[in-house]
Structure 1
Amino acid sequence: MKLALRQGQFPRDRAGRSNRSRRAWLAAALALLAALCLLSVAVGTRQVGWVDIVSALRGQVATIEQAAVAVRIPRTLLAVLAGSALGLAGAVMQGVTRNPLADPGILGVNLGASLAVVVGVAWFGVTSADAYIWTAIVGAALSAVFVYVIGSLGRGGATPLKLALAGVATSVAFASFVTAVILPRTDIAGGIQSWRVGGVGGATFDATLEAAPFLAAGLLLSLSSARRLNSLALGDEMAAGLGERVALARATAALGAVLLCGATTAVCGPIGFVGLVVPHLCRQLVGVDHRWLLPFSTIGGACLLVAADVVGRIAARPSELEVGVVTAFIGAPFFIWMVRHQRSRQL
């Protein structure tokens, strides 16, 4: 047992979950994601059959149906990548802060990235996708540091409730700043307002490829932090006693989450609540061991965002609801339930 703790592992979950049952859930999650991806390319304002889907996957666009599928493929890919990034970032943030209410949206990270992008576009003429992403990452990092510092002030340090309140207050302030920046700029207001809702419509392979290296770096940093997050879950003093460099462990994991949030926000806009809902649901399936929780949150986030995109297309035909709106409908009641029933306990 001591050896397992020293390695940052949990030999067996308190609820009796075994690695065998976790592998079964993993296979089920992957099967669900594959089914949702097929549904995503098939469902929309125009229904298409399997023959057209197969033809479009082969690169054929001879019919309207095949052309519709060709447009939905990059959209589905972006939904998978963005959902994976947000689900994983949420799990990492909850582990780093030991805060069950941690989420890129609630902690103000998404709005920080949004404000940075809007300022870059309005004041500095940022236009390239690469510059968008770097600007969003810097904004996300500064916002995360700011919220953590504010939440750490006073007695008791960075408690879950103080971090949540600091994040919500920061998000409101940043949203007001964004509005103040774009109001005088009618030339960019329409595009920025549409982007701020958060969505994957209009996705292209080129934009997704621009974000892919940043998402890959964030994914590797986050997944490689699983053992260190297990140590941090025992408390800073215990983690240090086991030989963990606490500050470095937190900084590495947080950097991975910032890369994921910044790149996703630059491409899709701010999408909230995925990083809050998914890790909690995954924790019910696989327990608190981050070696399992992080991969499951990655897959779960992809499932949630792809499903939200499909629901958005069906619910408002012939128009669409952006995924940011759908996830807000799901996440807001979940957040209220968390506050009322979990009482903001630490992890």
Structure 2
Amino acid sequence: MGGTVLQPSAAVALEPLHSLRVSVTHHPGTSLFCLLIDALGMPGQGVPPTLRQAVRSAVPADDMNRLAPLLEGYGFPDCFAPLAGPDLPSGLERLREQDLSEVSEQARGWYESSPAPAAEWARVIERPAPYLAAFARVFSAIWEAYAVVWQRAQPLLWRETERVGTATVTGTLDVVLAGLANPCWRVEHDTLYCPPLHTARTPCREAGQGLVLAPLVCGSATYSISSDGSAGTRLSYPAPGLALIPGGDPVQPAADSLTILLGPARAAILRLAAHTPTVGEIATALSSGSATYHCRFLESAGLLTRRRRGREVRLHHTPRGRALLDLMS
């Protein structure tokens, strides 16, 4: 049973990275769901206050009250999400026009396979029409408040597509995957590990299926893992460099390929490592208190190593790190 679930636990086989089919999709559907969850007062999404207020002011209160009990498990079946189409309004129209018997069947499958509130989902299975209409109205209202943010973020999303493409052709996809959502996600031996948070639902990924990366434009702390049908497993995560200030400046393009791949701080550290600095020297050069965190990430990605020189421990490029720096220069 396919569906959208926020922040599950999973161990996603990447089998092996050099032949893994990876794609990037730009669709606001999951971002809309995250905004809906946030509007209901559920914590953990990292939505900016200005955007949160705009969404809460837009959504119909009666519909929100109807849907709230259904979303206690931070998820719902795909039949209640905006369906795929050339644009979001057409996806919402397709959502409204679904066959009610099929919606009821999907709701039944979701109820039987997930920790959903029994009484409320029994009502959905019996009479899906009011709930389908409520989801459509709520998502339409959220989209009205959110569309300008989504449009302004398009350069950022295309930058992320370029970053994933660069990682794929340079053999550094593990570096990108390990830093997608938060420090808890990690890649080890062709497996992406995601620890338990709100729910323990674990999607299955069959051998030979691909990986779909879906950068989100809604909050700094929202991510999910779900099935994407025959395409494989979908990883949804905050788009790197996310800045959601309505009316703010457009996203500026990154200066170079290494910055696109690693981000500005990690790219700068990899370049500075040519001079075999200490972590303290890195922190001073970048005027950053997060230098230790970024250095550890680059070490775990196999790009840097530490060597003791007398009383000092200095950073050095690994052969992989040197090769990546040469390739991106």
Range of TM-score over shorter length? under 0.3
TM-score by length of 2: 0.20
Instruction: Indicate the structure with greater strand content.
Output: 2
TM-score by length of 1: 0.20
Answer with 1 or 2: which has the greater Rg. Answer: 2
Instruction: Indicate the structure with greater helix content.
Output: 1
